[in-house]
Amino acid sequence: MDELTAKLDELVLAARKRRGLHRAIAMLRIFVGFAFVPSGLKKVLAQPFTDPHLHGPFHDFLHAFHATGAFYQFVGVVQLVTATLLVTQRLATAGALLALPIFSSIAVLCWSTKVYPTAAVVTLLWLSTLALLVWDWPTWRAVLGRNASHGARGALSEAPVDGRLWQRCGVAIMSLYLAVCAATGGVYRPRGAAWGTPAFYVFPLMLLVVIATFVVDRSRSRSDAP
């Protein structure tokens, strides 16, 4: 175990010296966090997650899940809390820890009920969450009874990217989506490329916000370089 933790320390230290990876992690936190928002909102609002006329192991499970009422809404609250923690960047480690068991449960459900396209997407999100946890290894490795090395703690305290800028990016994305939900009177989830629907363009706009944040952060880091 000591060899494994030492190797992880070495990998994390090497990764955290690369500014580009810090930006990639900031974006990944936003994308993973946003994945919980539509489904979490549906549950909190007690809306069914699948159409009533659809049946089969996967859909029958979702019908029964929706019928639990308060439990269904509680899971939605947990998903929205997880999303919020992830996009704050500062509390993203806690968000990733919450996200991992959620994605694990959903992935097992999807694979076992043979909903393969959804299972593939959820598995990618699960792997992304695992990557976020590895990135924050010095923070939570104490759970295993092993304190972070001096070098790992130093790498964790470094902030080579503008954390507040990425926080604002996450808030902007959440706000844009919630505004569209309020304008359309429900949880907006497009079925494919709905180019004729004005609300659909919020997704390209959210992507532009991420790209703009990346460009601004990169420009600032270059101007601050000696």
Q: Which of 35, 42, 41, 173 is nearest to 102 (CA)?
A: 35
Q: How far apart are CA 124 and CA 148, in angstroms?
A: 28
What are the DSSP calls for 168-210, one per residue?
Answer: HHHHHHHHHHHHHHHHHTS----SS--TT-GGGGHHHHHHHHH
Tokens of 126: 């699960």
- Domain ranges, ordered by start, for the chain: 2-160
* pLDDT tens sequence across 97-149: 999 999 999 999 999 999 999 999 999 999 999 999 988 887 776 666 555 55
Whether 193 contacts 106, CB under 8 Å: no
Q: Which residues contact 203 (CB under 8 A, 6 or more apart)?
A: 190
Whether 66 contacts 72, CB under 8 Å: yes
Q: What is the mean pLDDT of residues 190-196?
A: 78
* pLDDT tens sequence across 19-73: 889 999 999 999 999 999 999 999 999 999 888 888 889 999 999 999 999 999 9
Tokens of 49: 């997650």
pTM: 0.85
pLDDT for 220: 81
More confident residue, 206 or 156: 206
